[in-house]
Amino acid sequence: MIDNYLLEELVTFAKYKTLAKTAAELNVTQPTVTRGMQKLEDELGVQLFDRHPNRITLTKTGKIAAEKANQLLQANQQFITEIKNYAQNQQVFKIASVAPGPLIVLEQNLTKLNANIDIDEALLDQNSVEKCLLNHRYSVIITNCEIQTDLIESRYLGQEHLYVNLDQFMYLANQRQVTFKELAGFSFVVLNEIGPWKQIIQSNIPNAKFLYQTEHDALSELTKYTNFPFFTTNITQPDNVYDTTDTVALPITDSSATMTFYVTYLKSQRSTIAPLAKKVVSVWPKK
């Protein structure tokens, strides 16, 4: 078996083109690199280098060997990363989500869940879910789409229902509920990182304007000192993030104003994830 350090020398030489630069990059002496190159040729039984009085270059075979060596080194590093991630996930449930609501539920109920949970607040794109599970980056990802494959499965978690908060003196505030169509033309203040909810409100409210805020604090200040409508859900309403003193929260009745979430994980982890999923369902806010 060829040692990794020989492959590293070959890949580095292919990148920097000279013995001196290769040695400097690897923090070794130039004779060490020379001996390594000769040893690699001996072990492979092929010529990888054209040696000239003042320089050395890769043969065509050497160039191919450098490409293959780079692929092997990357695969080796990926192997190490995945095993380390997997080992870490045996002790810690590292959880991510495609939307902020489920993360709020987790954070508010950590003591009740009685588990070692590490929450990543950066939202994931739905398209990256399978990859992030297969490489063991996360133990659990909360998704708004059910996934069922040979290696991955989803379990129902709960639903999030969208509300609009209107100034109490607006004519719509006298209603008990509202539709997206009735909100046409309004200007809303909205938190920027809301996952799939962003596309839902943009697609369903005609001629609306959305004043996106990157920080919770900025949005909270706007809800306190302006009368712009804003959105909450059955999850965020009790969170006391926004000033709702002079507003009325109306449920939006369109079917797209309800989002269903799932606990998504590797089937091989079912025995450890299922008890945690059951606890999260038990603390999920009702409508």
pLDDT given at position 54: 83
Say yes or no: 27 and 153 in one domain: no
Residues 144 and 277 in one domain: yes
Tell me, yes or no, whether 182 and 166 share the same domain.
yes
* Domain containing residue 96: CATH number: 3.40.190.10
CATH (domain of 34): 1.10.10.10
Beta bridge partners of 26: none
Containing H/E element for 264? strand 258-266
Q: Which DSSP letter does residue 58 get?
A: E
If asked whether residues 269 and 148 sit together in one domain, one would say yes
Q: Are residues 227 and 273 in the same domain?
A: no
Out of 62, 89, 116, a domain closes at 89
Q: What average pLDDT is seen over the chain?
A: 89
Helix axes 100-108, 270-283, angle to 10 degrees: 90
192/213 same-domain check = yes
Together in a domain, 264 and 251: no
User: Is the separation of the CB atoms in 175 and 257 below 8 Å?
Assistant: no
* Residue finishing a domain among 28, 58, 89: 89
Single residue among 60, 89, 118 that ends a domain in this structure: 89
When divided into structural domains, the chain yields a total of 3
Beta-carbon contacts of residue 260 (< 8 Å; ≥ 6 apart): 144, 156, 158, 159
Cα 243 → chain centroid: 30
The answer on 41 and 98 residing in a single domain is no
Extract the tokens encoding 242: 């926004």
In a shared domain, residues 152 and 270: yes
Query: What is the distance between the alpha carbons of residues 104 and 261, in angstroms, rounded to a whole number?
Result: 13
Determine the structural domain holding residue 133 and report its residue range. Answer: 90-158+259-283
Q: Which residue's structure tokens are 């805020």?
A: 213
Same domain, 243 and 199: yes
Distances (CA, A) of 222 to 190, 198, 201: 10, 19, 19
Kindly give, in sequence order, each residue whose CB lies less than 8 Å from that of residue 53, ignoring residues fewer than 6 positions away.
Answer: none
Is the pTM here over 0.75, yes or no?
Answer: no
Pair 54, 108 in one domain: no
CB neighbour class for 87 (10 Å; exposed up to 12, middle 13-18, buried from 19)? exposed
Q: Based on the fold, state whether residues 106 and 194 are members of the same structural domain.
A: no
* DSSP symbol at 149: -
pLDDT tens per residue across all 287 residues of the chain: 888 888 899 899 899 998 889 889 988 898 898 898 899 889 889 999 888 888 889 999 989 999 999 999 999 888 888 887 776 556 688 999 999 999 999 998 988 887 788 899 999 999 999 999 999 999 999 999 999 999 999 999 999 999 999 998 899 999 999 999 999 999 999 999 999 999 999 999 999 999 999 888 888 888 888 889 999 999 987 555 566 678 899 999 999 999 999 999 999 989 888 888 999 999 998 76
* pLDDT at site 240: 55
pLDDT of residue 123: 94
